[in-house]
Amino acid sequence: MLFAEKLRKLREGAGLSQEGLAQKGGFSVGNVRNYEQGRRLPSFPIVVKLAEALGVDCSAFSGCSDVIAGEVEKPAAKGGKKYPQPKKGGK
């Protein structure tokens, strides 16, 4: 399952609209729409905030096929290339 699909499913399961999730998590509605349409993948800190707003643990997103072991696959519209996650510590 893709991140976008999982987010939509969790949001609907929580009984929230995109606007409701945006308000509860402190996001713009546009960002929530972009995440659900697969136009953007959020950074890990945003995933944590999304999970908190949805009342789930961030591991709920761990099985998403477009988030792969330390790499994020860009959405298909952007070429589908993989880029390594930035390392902590500024190096």
pLDDT average per 10 residues of sequence, the chain (91 residues): 95 97 96 95 92 94 72 51 50 48
Q: What pLDDT, on the 0 to 100 scale, is given for residue 66?
A: 82
pTM score above 0.85: no
Domains parsed from the chain with CATH numbers: 3-77 (1.10.260.40)
Give the span between the Cα atoms of 27 and 19, in whole angstroms: 9
Q: What pLDDT, on the 0 to 100 scale, is given for residue 34?
A: 96
> In sequence order, what are the residues at sequence separation of 6 or more whose Cβ sits closer than 8 angstroms to the Cβ of residue 90?
none
Residue linked to tokens 């390594």: 84
Q: What pLDDT, on the 0 to 100 scale, is given for residue 82?
A: 47
Q: What pLDDT, on the 0 to 100 scale, is given for residue 69?
A: 46
User: Tens digit of pLDDT for each residue in 29-49?
Assistant: 999 999 999 999 998 899 999
- What are residue 11's phi and psi, to 5 degrees? -65, -45
